[in-house]
Structure 1
Amino acid sequence: MSGNTDINPRDEFVYYYDRNNLKAIRKGSWKLVFAAKSRTYGPPSTIENDRYAGKTLEVEVPLALYNLSTDPGEDRDIKDQHADVVKQLDQIAQKYREQLGDGLTNTIGKEVRPAAQL
């Protein structure tokens, strides 16, 4: 709002989806994707005639590390060259798992509360 575009509002970003599964974590330009089964609309998935998603394909996503400043398309896994970064990001992810939970590791978060009811 102040016009200073050099300030990042957050240094860490967590990617939760497929219910409460921590699928990836980002810190700065580094993104660590956790091994998991995931759904995709890639072939042989379909889009139905009503333009809504049809059948999806379940794929195995491997553990992977990307440097988004040099690989924004996430095409080159560099986890083997940067084991220290993988370890650092995994430690940060553990903090979020303890707070918010994680279905992939069957972790119940300490700060999880029931959804509001009407």
Structure 2
Amino acid sequence: MKRTLFIALLAVAFSPNGDSLASGIGDRLEANDGQLQAILAGHRDWVIAVAFSPDGSTLASGSDDHEIRLWDTSNGQPKATLKGHRGSIRSVAFAPDGKTLASGSDDGTIRLWDVGTEQLK
């Protein structure tokens, strides 16, 4: 698969089964398998970080808008918006069981989120 993009690409992540690739492109996410599957629009600034949950059902995205968004990968719809950082989100990672999401920010903090309740731990 080769796709040429003419914009800054800041984050990429494969789905756990390897069938999809999510990329942070500008203020949106793209999930594709060689062909564009979906554009996940919702962030108000650059998408800097992306990660799939271990079971592939959720995609997390972090942005310069200081927010983390959780997306349902089956339909591309937003599941939640996580707010708590005071700086750009630079990294997101799911725990192996998928129940916790870690996020790192320019505000100098790492935050742990309960994915089920969408609250800080």
- Higher share of residues assigned helix: 1
Q: Which has the larger radius of gyration?
A: 1
- Higher share of residues assigned strand: 2
**TM-score, normalising length: structure 1:** 0.29
